[in-house]
A and B are shown apart, each in its own frame.
Chain A
Amino acid sequence: MSSLVVNNLTVSHGAIRALTNVSFEVQQGELTAVIGANGAGKTTLLRTLSGLKDAESGSATWRDRNILGKRPEDLVRRGISHVSEGKSVIPELTVRENLVIGGLWRRDKSGTEKAIKEAVELFPRLGERMSQSANTLSGGERQMLAIGRALVSRPKLLLLDEPSLGLAPLIIEQIFSAIKNLQTSMNLTVVLVEQNATSALEIADTGVILNLGELVASGNAKDLLADPALKSAYLGY
């Protein structure tokens, strides 16, 4: 059964068309990589799916219910968590507070504490820095914190926007393996936006390739990786 269904989605920023008739589906428990160069519309796609941006036309449903035109704070309550582009943490708060805010809406303190514990198990470096200001974290730690915050909301669908941006290869590897780990252990559905095409497609089940706002290919991640035409045209290697 398809969990996330995007159909003919068109989104504009004023006069600029960022996505044109994009359609794809993600199955329950599947990890999909969304690949594309700068300006391809990846961020716009995620922002539309999480309620931060309004669509112009088309549809998007999660578990058979419309998600377009909804508020992000309501979509979180339906299990959709978005880690937005560029280390989405609040630098003025402590590491712990950044995690806690993900669970405030559930009004279940012990559940939140448990989720925080699990996030810290996944990213032990956060555990040593709980009372530090998030401002003092390194780029990689911030990314871990941003993902941790999303996990505290207990998502069913995780939207990740370029978690590897600006990070060293070793840290990227750690974060990617954590993402893969989450998908399998928590049966999460994941949409992973990346420019890091190969690494992303290697951990993904399926992939979607965008170019200038249009979908140019989608399907099994292994097949996309092996397609020589795609390789030279869009995957950049």
Chain B
Amino acid sequence: MRQLIGTLLIGLTLGSIYSLMALALVLVWRSTRVVNFAQAGQAIVTTYIAYEIVTRTGVFWLAVLFAVVAGALLGAGVEYFLMRTLFRHVDEGPVAALAPVIATLGLLGVIKSLVGMIWGNDFRSFYPPVSTDNFVLFGETIPFSRFNILVILSTTVVMIIFSFIFQRTDLGLSLRAAAFQPEIARLAGIRVGPIRTIGWVFAGVAGAIAGVLITPNDVLSPASLDVLLVFGFVAAVIGGLESLPGAVLGGVVLGIGVSFVLNYVGTTLIFPTVFVVLLLALIFKPNGLLGSKKVRSA
């Protein structure tokens, strides 16, 4: 029983971080119809920035703040300088559909080697603000720590802020309108170009927070967020790729699944399990966990 609860709690922790990465990917997909592989690269840069701040000052929240600002700027930069240039020059045929995705994949490679050049390829540890030691209850260890509580609480706060912005503000309405029907949005007077950049900014912020939250339980290296990218993408697809609540739910479902396999089976079966979960979701809920046949949910 204790192990079951521990597994669920770990699943929730992992899942909430996958949700953030999934949100980032969905935001970009909705606004630009591009799967942004570079999201992991953007997040690795912001996590190294956070690492520098936290090792120099010891103030975790200052590190988070820097990561968030850097994430916002990087997101805007990639959209403005890379995506717009590509869209301006290749706008027809099969190349136009593929070029941006390939470009983000290339950018991921470039960022990882740059990060390797600057910080080296060795593993570093990222000190958390609160203990990552497991709780001991009645003499038994529960695989859950203060830091995990912090992760769940902070992702919940981020999700609440995001859902407030998207559902309750004019900016959020513009983001949704521009994502679903850019042409009608423009005819209604919405400046779709800048709105798209703002979508990438939110994605950059979500990815940056995911990076700093997952690293204290892990190690930091130029490739350390690659797995998060894959899991975030799977979570996004499970959620239907269009829906923000779907992405969050997809992340949590995947996190709990991964946690069960970790605790009861072992690390070797993680990737096969994720793959099976993805296949099952695509077969039984092709429009996403929350999707209906007729329409995507905003």
Query: Min CB distance, B261 to chain A, in Å?
Result: 35
A85 and B185 CA atoms in complex are apart in Å by: 14
Contact across chains for B176 and A104 when beta carbons are under 8 A apart: no
Across the interface, name the chain A residue whose C-beta is closest to B243: A92
Contact across chains for A101 and B186 when beta carbons are under 8 A apart: no
Across the interface, name the chain B residue whose C-beta is closest to A146: B184
Q: Mark B204-218, 1 if CB is under 8 A from A, else 0.
A: 000000000000000
Contacts of B295 in A (CB 8 A): 91-92, 133, 135
Contacts of A82 in B (CB 8 A): 187
A127 and B203 CA atoms in complex are apart in Å by: 36
Flag whether A207 is at the interface (Cβ < 8 A).
no
Contact across chains for B183 and A52 when beta carbons are under 8 A apart: yes
Flag whether B190 is at the interface (Cβ < 8 A).
yes
Contact across chains for B297 and A101 when beta carbons are under 8 A apart: no
Contacts of B181 in A (CB 8 A): 90, 92
Flag whether A218 is at the interface (Cβ < 8 A).
no
> Could you say which of A30-38, A69-77, A181-189, A226-234 contacts chain B?
A69-77
Centre residue among A89, A104, A106, A149 by max chain B CB count within 10 A: A104
Contacts of A100 in B (CB 8 A): 173
Contact across chains for A97 and B173 when beta carbons are under 8 A apart: yes
Q: Mark A80-118, 1 if CB is under 8 A from B, else 0.
A: 011110001111110001001110111000000000000
Contact across chains for B190 and A73 when beta carbons are under 8 A apart: yes
> Would you call the interface of chain B mostly helix, strand, loop, or mixed?
helix
Flag whether A50 is at the interface (Cβ < 8 A).
yes
Whether A90 contacts B180 in the complex (CB less than 8 A), given A76-B187, A81-B187, A82-B187, comes out as: yes
Flag whether B191 is at the interface (Cβ < 8 A).
yes
Q: Size of chain A's interface in residues, with CB distance under 8 A?
A: 29
Q: Mark B49-65, 1 if CB is under 8 A from A, else 0.
A: 00000000000000000
Across the interface, name the chain A residue whose C-beta is closest to B186: A72
Query: Min CB distance, A103 to chain B, in Å?
Result: 8
Selected contact of B180 from candidates A50, A71, A76, A93, CB within 8 Å: A93
Flag whether B201 is at the interface (Cβ < 8 A).
no
Contacts of A77 in B (CB 8 A): 189
Centre residue among A77, A89, A92 by max chain B CB count within 10 A: A92
Contact across chains for B183 and A104 when beta carbons are under 8 A apart: no
Contacts of B177 in A (CB 8 A): 90, 93, 97, 101
Flag whether B68 is at the interface (Cβ < 8 A).
no
Contact across chains for A104 and B190 when beta carbons are under 8 A apart: yes
Contacts of A97 in B (CB 8 A): 173, 176-177
**Number of A-B residue pairs having CB atoms within 8 Å of each other in the complex:** 75
Contact across chains for A88 and B180 when beta carbons are under 8 A apart: no
Question: Which residues 155-192 of B sit at the A interface, judged by CB distance below 8 A?
Answer: 170, 173-174, 176-177, 180-181, 183-192
Contact across chains for B298 and A92 when beta carbons are under 8 A apart: yes
A102 and B189 CA atoms in complex are apart in Å by: 7
Whether A104 contacts B170 in the complex (CB less than 8 A), given A92-B176, A93-B180, A93-B298, comes out as: yes
Across the interface, name the chain B residue whose C-beta is closest to A135: B295
Contact across chains for A73 and B294 when beta carbons are under 8 A apart: no
Query: Min CB distance, B182 to chain A, in Å?
Result: 10
Whether A50 contacts B173 in the complex (CB less than 8 A), given A92-B296, A93-B180, comes out as: no
Selected contact of A90 from candidates B185, B191, B294, CB within 8 Å: B185
Contacts of A72 in B (CB 8 A): 186-187
Whether A104 contacts B173 in the complex (CB less than 8 A), given A76-B189, A77-B189, comes out as: yes
Whether A92 contacts B180 in the complex (CB less than 8 A), given A100-B173, A101-B174, A135-B294, comes out as: yes
A121 and B57 CA atoms in complex are apart in Å by: 61
Contact across chains for B188 and A153 when beta carbons are under 8 A apart: yes
- Given A92-B297, A105-B188, A105-B190, 13 more pairs with CB closer than 8 A: A52-B183, A71-B186, A76-B189, A77-B189, A89-B184, A90-B184, A91-B180, A92-B176, A92-B296, A97-B177, A101-B190, A106-B189, A135-B294
